[in-house]
Structure 1
Amino acid sequence: MIDSILVGMTGLQGFSKGLRVIANNTANIDTPGFKASTLQFADLFYSTSSPGTGSGLMQVGYGLDTGGTSLDFKQGELRQTGNTLDLALDGQGLFTLKDADGNIHYTRAGQFMFNADGVLVNRADGSKVMGMDANGVMGEISIKGEGTLEGKATTTVTFSGNLPSTSASQTVQGVTVIDSVGGTHDLSVKLTASTTDPGHWTVELLDGSASFAAGEIAFVDGMPDPAQSKVSVTYKPAGLADVPLTLDFSADVTSFDSQDLSTLAFRSQDGYAPGALTGVSFDDTGTLVMSYANGQTEKGSQLALGRFDSLDAVKSVGGNAFDNTNSLAWHVGVAGGNGFGKVRSGMVELSNVDLSQEFSDLVIMQRGYQASSQVISTANEMLQELFTMKNK
């Protein structure tokens, strides 16, 4: 009966540990990136003895044992936050972090920010979020020195519309050009029909009264001649460096008889003024995207991700982080390839705790604990009865 009490005690201890695991799961129901755990139970060893007669063996168990906990790595719900630096992984993978001591950890809780040095860090503990450059070298993700994007002088100006084939000349107004220091100039282009070669037009770039000779374009059956659809001109803004330009009439430009009604117009140019950084985000491949006030975007490093082949290769270390326990079972890469999921910007992954399942397990633990305590109480009463019989 003393053995029965000891067996009952193993039940109390085991179900107490199970209750603790359930308590931890339910306490972290709102923890981003949290993965629920399940306690593993096993029976203890057995003693085997041979009875005096017969061929059978009698096995007597010694109670309940508890092994490790197993993580449930199924994906939690992805919830919108509106913060572009809140990131979630839709699929396999974990974000890679490096702490102040240089140790590598992993997390599914992508709640990041840029610190005062312009380095992307984990908001929870300040550890650096690791990325990969174009050569696959891992390093920190930084926007230091990216606060302003330098301007780019215009190199190509494109046009679209119909240039009336019966017109003697046409002038296109509102041709925008960006100079070498980011200044904007409102120019015009004058086209004059050749009196000797039908379909040929002389092109001039005008800045007010100043004229910059460009060249000649030609049309065959109303369509641009590929060999004569672009002209080069050097625009010389006062006091600034020369701006070499290509005036492109090769696409979406025609020259048909439209009774002198011209629709030829300036369409686009490829320059831009300097611009300040206005926002940062990550695309679905985990690539840093920097947006500027001039409408331009620049791309940076990709987020470095890790994934594992077996749950035996990962363990929880707290702070929404996990560690690698078997390098042979881990892979490093970037989002969208080689088994890795995609990055969702402005979202965070919630805990994957199933509260209904936890409450069901809670009832089982409670019943098991009550049953084990009842075994101990019964064995104790039987011992008391035995001692009473002895005293009689």
Structure 2
Amino acid sequence: MLDSIFIGMTGLQGYSQGLRVIANNTANINTPGYKGSSLQFADMFYSNSNTGMGTMQVGYGLNTAGTMLNFEQGELRQTGNTLDLAVDGQGLFTVRDSGGNTHYTRAGQFNFNTDGVLVSRIDQSKVMGQDASGAVGEISIAGKSAIAGTATTAVKFAGNLSSTAPSHTIGSVNILDKLGGSHAFTVKLTNENTVATPNQWKVELVDASGVAVDSGSIAFENGLPKAGNSTVTMDFTPPGLASMAVVLDFSADVTSFAALTTSTLSMTSQDGKGPGTLTGVNFDASGTLIMNYSNGETVKGSRLLLGRFDSVDAVAANGNNQFDATNQLAWHTGLGAEGGFGSIRSGMIELSNVDLSQEFSDLVIMQRGYQASSQVISTANDMLQELFQMKGK
């Protein structure tokens, strides 16, 4: 009967541990990236005795063999914050704490700290990435709050240039230098149609003072730009800067018909851009940092470094929504949208994968098991008391 009490105690202890696991799962039902766990039960050792009528095996109760993490993906929920990230697949984000220790997490709640480094909002651990050269390090926007402008290299035109008109002037042609400075020009086209130069036009780039800084010519054939003679390269020198070349492009969407007596030729675009300031950041499906600037430019940064494992036995929960690798040989590192690591979803977080209805069902089972083990102890105790009373008589 003493053995029965011991066996009942193992049941109480085991089911108490099971209740603790369920309580932890239930408490973390709203924890982003949380992975539920379940307690593994096993029976204890057995003793064999020969009763003369055969061998009898007697067990010694309940044993717990540790917990098993459930890495089934949780629901991905939209947050609207571009620095909330989720992995749609098997990968985990890689973070490094202040002590230089590497951890992994499915909770992509990140932001940039005052130093411009991407960190976890939970414990300020740095999010690891990989740059274009393959070097692994922190993801940073330090020194990237502004971007230099780009000089104009091409100006495009569209419309009809009446072949019977003597000339045509296009105003408000703004050209940007490499520092983002804007220079206003007009483009003057003069009809040079002769027997020697049929359907040819002289093109002049005229500055604000009325001086032609450079000139060239274009030609038409059957009312369309003549191949090889539809662009003009103009050179001019901005004040204090080196000379720059700009191509005036009349090769597309430009005509020269006499039936259209009015010239509608005008500038449509130029490819220069002024300086810009950082207006926002986000990550694409491959985990690449995308920096958006006020001048319309986008610049790509490092890519998020992801980890994944071959066996759940190589993973241990560490707290703070993080996991540790217990066997580095079972872990792999890589990038999003390749190698089975999964794609990155910006503006979303992964919710806990705890199934509350299943936890409640397991809770009832633990309660029944605990009550049964308690009843075994109570019954064995009553039997011992009865035995002591019999001996006293």
TM-score by length of 2: 0.95
Q: CA deviation at 1:14?
A: 0.4
Corresponding residue of 2:118: 120
Query: How far, CA to CA, are the matches of 1:227 and 1:280 in structure 2?
Result: 43
Question: Alignment partner for residue 59 of structure 1, among 33, 57, 60?
Answer: 57
Corresponding residue of 2:105: 107
Aligned pairs (5 A) from 1:264-343: 264-343=265-344
Does 1:82 pair with 2:64? no
Corresponding residue of 2:214: 213
Q: CA deviation at 1:263?
A: 3.4
Q: CA deviation at 1:191?
A: 2.0
Question: Alignment partner for residue 168 of structure 1, among 166, 169, 189?
Answer: 166
Query: How far, CA to CA, are the matches of 2:336 and 2:137 in structure 1?
Result: 16
Q: SS at the partner of 2:382?
A: helix
- 1:217-246, Cα deviation, whole Å (9 max, x unpaired): 222333333311221101334455433111
Q: CA deviation at 1:188?
A: 2.2
Query: How far, CA to CA, are the matches of 2:137 and 2:249 in structure 1?
Result: 43
Name the aligned partner's letter for residue 108 of structure 2: G
Q: CA deviation at 1:138?
A: 0.4
Corresponding residue of 2:33: 33
Name the aligned partner's letter for residue 71 of structure 1: L
- 1:30-73, Cα deviation, whole Å (9 max, x unpaired): 111111011111111111222313xx432111111101111111
Task: Please tell me whether the aligned partners of residues 180 and 243 of structure 1 are also in contact (alpha carbons under 8 angstroms).
Answer: no
Name the aligned partner's letter for residue 342 of structure 2: G
Corresponding residue of 1:10: 10
Query: How far, CA to CA, are the matches of 1:253 and 1:280 in structure 2?
Result: 39
Aligned pairs (5 A) from 1:114-263: 114-196=112-194, 197-208=197-208, 209-238=210-239, 240-263=241-264
Query: How far, CA to CA, are the matches of 2:128 and 2:301 in structure 1?
Result: 12
Q: SS at the partner of 2:263?
A: coil
Name the aligned partner's letter for residue 224 of structure 1: P
- 1:156-213, Cα deviation, whole Å (9 max, x unpaired): 1122233333333222233221123212233222222222223322211122312123
Cα distance change of structure 1 residues 118 and 200 upon mapping to structure 2, 3 Å threshold: same
Corresponding residue of 1:351: 352
Q: SS at the partner of 2:228?
A: helix
Name the aligned partner's letter for residue 262 of structure 1: S
Query: How far, CA to CA, are the matches of 1:162 and 1:342 in structure 2?
Result: 49
Name the aligned partner's letter for residue 52 of structure 2: G
Name the aligned partner's letter for residue 141 of structure 1: I
Q: CA RMSD in A?
A: 1.6
Query: How far, CA to CA, are the matches of 1:214 and 1:375 in structure 2?
Result: 105
Aligned length: 390
Query: How far, CA to CA, are the matches of 1:75 and 1:158 in structure 2?
Result: 51
Cα distance change of structure 1 residues 57 and 262 upon mapping to structure 2, 3 Å threshold: farther
Task: Please tell me whether the aligned partners of residues 193 and 201 of structure 2 are also in contact (alpha carbons under 8 angstroms).
Answer: no
Name the aligned partner's letter for residue 375 of structure 1: V
Corresponding residue of 1:370: 371
Question: Mind listing any 5+ residue stretches in structure 1 that lack a counterpart?
Answer: none
Name the aligned partner's letter for residue 143 of structure 1: I
Query: How far, CA to CA, are the matches of 1:164 and 1:51 in structure 2?
Result: 118
Q: CA deviation at 1:15?
A: 0.3
Question: Mind listing any 5+ residue stretches in structure 2 that lack a counterpart?
Answer: none
Name the aligned partner's letter for residue 49 of structure 1: S
Cα distance change of structure 1 residues 57 and 244 upon mapping to structure 2, 3 Å threshold: same
Query: How far, CA to CA, are the matches of 1:259 and 1:253 in structure 2?
Result: 13
State the identity %.
Answer: 65
Cα distance change of structure 1 residues 262 and 74 upon mapping to structure 2, 3 Å threshold: farther
Task: Please tell me whether the aligned partners of residues 193 and 199 of structure 2 are also in contact (alpha carbons under 8 angstroms).
Answer: no
Corresponding residue of 1:361: 362
Q: SS at the partner of 1:262?
A: coil
Q: SS at the partner of 2:137?
A: strand
Task: Please tell me whether the aligned partners of residues 114 and 120 of structure 1 are also in contact (alpha carbons under 8 angstroms).
Answer: yes
Task: Please tell me whether the aligned partners of residues 159 and 253 of structure 1 are also in contact (alpha carbons under 8 angstroms).
Answer: yes
Name the aligned partner's letter for residue 245 of structure 2: P
TM-score by length of 1: 0.95
Task: Please tell me whether the aligned partners of residues 180 and 241 of structure 1 are also in contact (alpha carbons under 8 angstroms).
Answer: no
Q: CA deviation at 1:258?
A: 4.1
Q: SS at the partner of 1:304?
A: strand
Query: How far, CA to CA, are the matches of 2:146 and 2:334 in structure 1?
Result: 30
Task: Please tell me whether the aligned partners of residues 42 and 66 of structure 1 are also in contact (alpha carbons under 8 angstroms).
Answer: yes
Query: How far, CA to CA, are the matches of 1:224 and 1:332 in structure 2?
Result: 55
Corresponding residue of 2:389: 388
Query: How far, CA to CA, are the matches of 1:175 and 1:169 in structure 2?
Result: 17
Name the aligned partner's letter for residue 89 of structure 1: V
Report which stretch shifted further, 14-23 or 123-132.
Answer: 123-132
- 1:264-291, Cα deviation, whole Å (9 max, x unpaired): 2212211111112122211111111111
- 1:63-95, Cα deviation, whole Å (9 max, x unpaired): 111011111111112222222211111112111
